């Protein structure tokens, strides 16, 4: 009864071989982002940074090979995002989800991530509460509170005690206004006026005039990058706020992909942010050089570094836990590594990235290109939005 | 008092920008009666050409002239090939056809130049601000105000005082009769359409400091163009002028006095005006 036929042996060997093959399996990562439409640059920046990471680190880790699949949401589209995530999980059998530029899109994936125990690395969507919506959410981007509070603190340290806030009247704008006001007033500053500008605004002259009339030491602005920021920074100059010595304080307005277009009027603007393409470190130089070499004409921005670190985090989780979702989440908690933006780690309390926040001033580099020059560093800032 | 003066100054400056970006539409949609949702597309073509020329070292004014000319040349085959058919369509078909053209222009620019901002660097003379005593006014806005007045005058003379203008009005009012009388209506329409496209390009370039050129320009500002022409009244350049200045001042006033109401004031005014006068402020009220 117990003697083994040749055939049984062959089957056993084949089974062992198959199991071995399964060990060295392919881990698939689904990246959901806009690759077409007005926000296509996000998907493009994500994909390029991920490909740079793969060029540097190979496509195999811990005996697994990693494959990225890209899906296009077009823009803010929670329903489609959910459908794409479902398709990736069920039909493509992905083990990790990633990408996610907009808050509504990220929220649409929460339930699926939890049910399927799929670690989901959010590369951008920046509302603090997102990571509370699923235990499988991680984030390698930033939150508005994380960068705005250091901006307010820095302004106070420079002796700026009065400010006017001028934000676009939508979710993130109001978030930024609240973050700035609470930190600025807690530090003894006074917010003279809080202006909320309609999202359709094309002419910012009236608002700038109103700011100027109140003569604050600084104006804190928050607007979506692109045309509104372009018109806003021009209005700041043309209405004589710069001459009147009113310091411009902002966050992501001087994004590297639009900075050159902002041109001369952007010079000297102060912003607080987690990444500048001009960050002085060997790793960042290598990253930006490789990006420019592989994709001529591309510049690194927050999306690039969010995706690059997202890939780094996914590689780490795959190395430790393969396709085991809960184990991968364990591996991510407290994981610390060196990023092109500086030292970063995953805060086990929020599953959000803890990182340095830099105070930058727009300046020209040796070749005359506009850059965000880092002038001050606030180290290891966690997400500050959830404790509020 | 200062606020009142500021509202007036900013309102007129903003209104003139609104007029400049919509005057091309008041020619194609107002005069020629084609619902041209691709109007912003021609402004985008002009802006993109100017961006390419000026960033490659061409003088700003020369670049602007070449870009306007280039847009008119691009518009000609489009008029002959596409719009000549679109004129004869019903309103809904016109909407669908011209928005399709807008999407094609957007996709072309997006593919060739990308979806980031396409700035047109202003020359030294347009930077800085004019000191009005109680406040300052940027030079480029002064330039837009001057350009707006010149364009209004030019169009008035062209349409009311020249033989071309008479033929155009005849062709628009009754094409068949005009053709019977020996007017080459096809040529008149082609020239007028080119004029509209050229004005769109000019407005796009001059307004670019406020409404920067980028691939999605035609959709982003479509409502603005349409409101100005609709409130002004179809077929009336003066109407568009009055509407643009009025709406600009009103919108500016609401930004100074009640920003929390957003753009509601603008659109409520539009709705009320169009309810009271469906043909627009100075529209001729065609049956």
* Confidence bin at A10 (pLDDT 50/70/90): low
Minimum-distance CB partner of A169 among B110, B212, B262 = B262
Confidence at residue A362, expressed as pLDDT on a 0 to 100 scale = 94
Q: Are residues A78 and A122 in the same domain?
A: yes
> What stretches in chain B show pLDDT beneath 70?
1, 284-287
Count how many domains chain A has: 2
Q: Are residues A221 and A299 in the same domain?
A: no
Both tokens assigned to A80: 């489609």
Which residues in chain B have Cβ-Cβ distances shorter than 8 Å to A202? 210-211, 221, 224
The chain B residues in contact with chain A (CB within 8 A) are 2, 6-7, 10, 13-14, 17, 110, 114-119, 121, 127, 129, 135-136, 138, 209-212, 214-216, 220-221, 224, 251-252, 255-256, 259-260, 262-263
**Residue of chain B nearest A239, judged by CA positions:** B136
Confidence at residue A278, expressed as pLDDT on a 0 to 100 scale = 93
Minimum-distance CB partner of A238 among B116, B138, B252 = B138
Cα–Cα distances in Å, from B218 out to A299, B41, B85, B102, B224?
26, 5, 22, 7, 10
Helix (H) or strand (E) holding A22, with range, is helix A6-23
Confidence at residue A201, expressed as pLDDT on a 0 to 100 scale = 85
Q: Residue A157 above 80 pLDDT?
A: yes
Mutation target among B210, B215, B260 for the A interface, most CBs of A within 10 A: B210
Q: Are residues A118 and A44 in the same domain?
A: yes
**Residue of chain A nearest B129, judged by CA positions:** A238
Q: Are residues A284 and A306 in the same domain?
A: yes
Whether residue B6 and residue A231 make contact (CB cut-off 8 A), yes or no, is: no
CA distance B146 to B285: 30
Q: Are residues A256 and A376 in the same domain?
A: yes
Q: Which CATH number does the domain housing residue A287 bear? A: 3.40.50.2300
Which residues in chain B have Cβ-Cβ distances shorter than 8 Å to A198? 255, 259, 262-263
Confidence at residue A184, expressed as pLDDT on a 0 to 100 scale = 95
Confidence at residue A17, expressed as pLDDT on a 0 to 100 scale = 45
Confidence at residue B124, expressed as pLDDT on a 0 to 100 scale = 82
DSSP 8-state class, residue B207:
G
* Confidence bin at A304 (pLDDT 50/70/90): very high
Cα–Cα distances in Å, from B37 out to A136, B43, B96, B219?
46, 12, 9, 9
Q: Identify whether the C-beta of residue B63 lies closer than 8 Å to the C-beta of residue B50.
A: yes
* Confidence bin at A220 (pLDDT 50/70/90): very high
Q: Which of A319, A343, A341 is nearest to A332 (CA)?
A: A319
Tell me if A387 is assigned to some domain: no
According to DSSP, the β-strands at A137-139 and A270-273 are unpaired
Minimum-distance CB partner of A261 among B6, B7, B116 = B116
Q: Are residues A212 and A154 in the same domain?
A: yes
Quick one: angle between helices B185-206 and B60-78, nearest 10? 140
Q: Are residues A269 and A255 in the same domain?
A: yes
Confidence at residue A364, expressed as pLDDT on a 0 to 100 scale = 93
Q: Identify whether the C-beta of residue A97 lies closer than 8 Å to the C-beta of residue A88.
A: yes
Q: Are residues A243 and A287 in the same domain?
A: no
Q: Are residues A246 and A366 in the same domain?
A: yes
CA B13, distance to chain mean position in Å, is: 15
Q: Which pLDDT tens digit goes with each residue over A58-111?
A: 999 989 999 999 999 988 899 999 999 999 999 999 999 999 999 999 999 999
The pLDDT > 70 percentage for chain A reads 93
Query: Taking residues A111-135, what's their average pLDDT?
Result: 93
Q: Does A44 touch chain B (CB under 8 A)?
A: no
Q: Are residues A366 and A234 in the same domain?
A: yes
CA distance A132 to B208: 42
Question: What average pLDDT does the structure give for chain A?
Answer: 90
Query: Taking residues A359-378, what's their average pLDDT?
Result: 92
**Residue of chain A nearest B117, judged by CA positions:** A261
In the stretch 255-284 of chain A, residues with CB closer than 8 A to chain B read 257-258, 261-264
Q: Are residues A45 and A98 in the same domain?
A: yes
Q: Residue A11 above 80 pLDDT?
A: no
CA distance B252 to B242: 15
* Confidence bin at A22 (pLDDT 50/70/90): very low
Whether residue B117 and residue A230 make contact (CB cut-off 8 A), yes or no, is: yes
Q: Which pLDDT tens digit goes with each residue over B3-58?
A: 788 888 888 988 998 898 888 898 888 788 888 999 999 999 999 999 999 999 89
Q: Which pLDDT tens digit goes with each residue over A30-40?
A: 999 999 888 88
**Residue of chain B nearest A240, judged by CA positions:** B136
CA distance A349 to A383: 10
CA distance B210 to A235: 9
**Residue of chain B nearest A170, judged by CA positions:** B262
State chain B's maximal CA–CA distance in angstroms.
60
The pLDDT > 90 percentage for chain A reads 70
Cβ density class A90-127: b for 16+ within 10 Å, e for less? eeeebbbbbbbbbbebbbbbbebbeebebbbbbbbbbb
Q: Which pLDDT tens digit goes with each residue over A252-302?
A: 889 998 888 888 889 989 999 999 999 999 999 999 999 999 998 889 999
Tell me if A2 is assigned to some domain: no
Q: Does A245 touch chain B (CB under 8 A)?
A: no
Minimum-distance CB partner of B210 among A195, A202, A209 = A202
* Confidence bin at A115 (pLDDT 50/70/90): very high
Confidence at residue A249, expressed as pLDDT on a 0 to 100 scale = 95
Domain that holds residue A256: 145-273+357-381
DSSP output for A305-341? HHHHHHHHHHHHHHHHHTT-HHHHHHHHTT-EEEETT
- pTM comes to 0.83
Quick one: angle between helices B237-257 and B222-232, nearest 10? 120
Confidence at residue B7, expressed as pLDDT on a 0 to 100 scale = 86
Higher pLDDT, B76 or A203: B76
Q: Which pLDDT tens digit goes with each residue over A318-357?
A: 999 998 999 999 999 999 999 999 999 999 999 999 999 9
Q: Residue A19 above 60 pLDDT?
A: no
Q: Are residues A345 and A368 in the same domain?
A: no
CA distance A270 to B244: 36
Residues paired with B138 in a beta bridge = B129
The phi and psi torsions of A343 (rounded to 5 degrees) equal: -70, 135
**Which residue, chain included where needed, has tokens 């117990």?**
A2
Tell me if A129 is assigned to some domain: yes
Confidence at residue A21, expressed as pLDDT on a 0 to 100 scale = 42
> B7 in helix, strand or coil?
helix
């Amino acid at each position: 009864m117990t003697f083994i036929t040749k055939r049984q042996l062959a089957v056993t060997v084949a089974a062992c071989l198959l199991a071995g093959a399964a060990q060295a399996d392919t881990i698939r990562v689904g990246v959901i982002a806009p690759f077409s439409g007005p926000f296509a640059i996000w998907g493009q920046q994500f994909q390029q940074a991920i490909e740079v990471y793969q060029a540097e680190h190979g496509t195999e880790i811990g005996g697994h090979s990693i494959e990225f699949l890209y899906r296009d949401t077009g823009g803010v589209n929670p329903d489609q995002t959910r459908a794409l995530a479902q398709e990736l999980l069920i039909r493509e059998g992905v083990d990790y989800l990633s990408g996610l530029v907009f808050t509504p899109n990220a929220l649409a994936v929460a339930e699926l991530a939890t049910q399927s125990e799929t670690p989901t690395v959010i590369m951008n969507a920046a509302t603090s509460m997102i990571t509370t919506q699923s235990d499988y959410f991680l984030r390698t981007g930033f939150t508005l509170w994380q960068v705005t509070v250091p901006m307010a603190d820095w302004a106070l340290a420079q002796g700026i005690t009065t400010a006017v806030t001028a934000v676009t009247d939508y979710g993130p704008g109001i978030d930024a206004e609240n973050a700035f006001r609470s930190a600025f007033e807690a530090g003894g500053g006074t917010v003279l006026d809080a202006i909320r500008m309609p999202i359709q605004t094309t002419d910012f002259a009236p608002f700038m005039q109103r700011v100027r009339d109140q003569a604050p030491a600084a104006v804190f602005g928050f607007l979506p990058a692109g045309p509104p920021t372009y018109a806003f920074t021009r209005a700041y100059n043309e209405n004589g706020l710069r001459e009147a010595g009113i310091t411009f304080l902002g966050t992501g307005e001087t994004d590297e992909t639009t900075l050159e277009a902002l041109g001369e009027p952007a010079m000297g603007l102060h912003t607080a942010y987690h990444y500048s393409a001009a960050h002085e470190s060997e790793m960042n130089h290598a990253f930006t050089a490789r990006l420019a070499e592989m994709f001529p004409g591309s510049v690194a921005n927050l999306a690039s570094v969010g995706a690059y670190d997202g890939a780094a985090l996914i590689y780490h989780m795959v190395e430790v836990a393969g396709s085991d979702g809960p184990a991968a989440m364990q591996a991510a908690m407290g994981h610390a590594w060196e990023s092109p933006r500086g030292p970063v780690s995953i805060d086990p309390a929020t599953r959000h990235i803890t990182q340095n926040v830099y105070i930058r001033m727009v300046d020209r580099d040796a070749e005359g290109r506009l850059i965000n020059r880092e002038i001050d560093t606030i180290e290891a800032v966690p997400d500050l939005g959830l404790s509020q | 008092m200062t606020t009142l003066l500021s509202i007036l100054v900013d309102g007129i400056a903003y209104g003139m920008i609104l007029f400049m970006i919509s005057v091309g539409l008041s020619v194609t949609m107002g005069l020629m009666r084609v619902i041209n949702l691709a109007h912003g597309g021609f402004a985008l073509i002009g802006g993109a050409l100017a961006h390419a020329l000026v960033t490659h070292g061409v003088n700003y004014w020369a670049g602007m002239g070449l870009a306007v000319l280039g847009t008119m040349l691009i518009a000609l085959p489009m008029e002959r090939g596409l719009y000549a058919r679109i004129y004869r369509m019903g309103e809904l078909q016109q909407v669908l056809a011209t928005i399709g053209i807008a999407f094609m222009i957007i996709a072309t620019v997006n593919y060739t130049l990308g979806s980031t901002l396409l700035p047109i660097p202003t020359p030294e003379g347009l930077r800085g601000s004019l000191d009005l005593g109680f406040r300052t006014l940027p030079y480029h806005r002064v330039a837009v105000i001057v350009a707006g007045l010149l364009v209004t005058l030019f169009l008035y003379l062209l349409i009311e005082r020249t033989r071309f203008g008479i033929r155009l009005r005849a062709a628009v009012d009754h094409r068949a009769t005009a053709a019977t009388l020996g007017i080459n209506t096809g040529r008149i329409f082609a020239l007028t359409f080119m004029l509209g496209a050229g004005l769109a390009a000019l407005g796009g370039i001059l307004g670019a400091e406020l409404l920067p050129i980028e691939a999605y320009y035609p959709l982003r500002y479509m409502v603005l163009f349409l409101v100005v022409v609709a409130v002004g009244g179809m077929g009336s350049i003066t109407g568009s002028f009055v509407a643009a200045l009025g709406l600009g001042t009103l919108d500016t006033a609401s930004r100074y006095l009640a920003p929390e109401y957003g753009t509601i004031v603008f659109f409520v005014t539009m709705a009320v005006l169009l309810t009271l006068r469906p043909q627009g402020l100075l529209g001729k009220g065609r049956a």
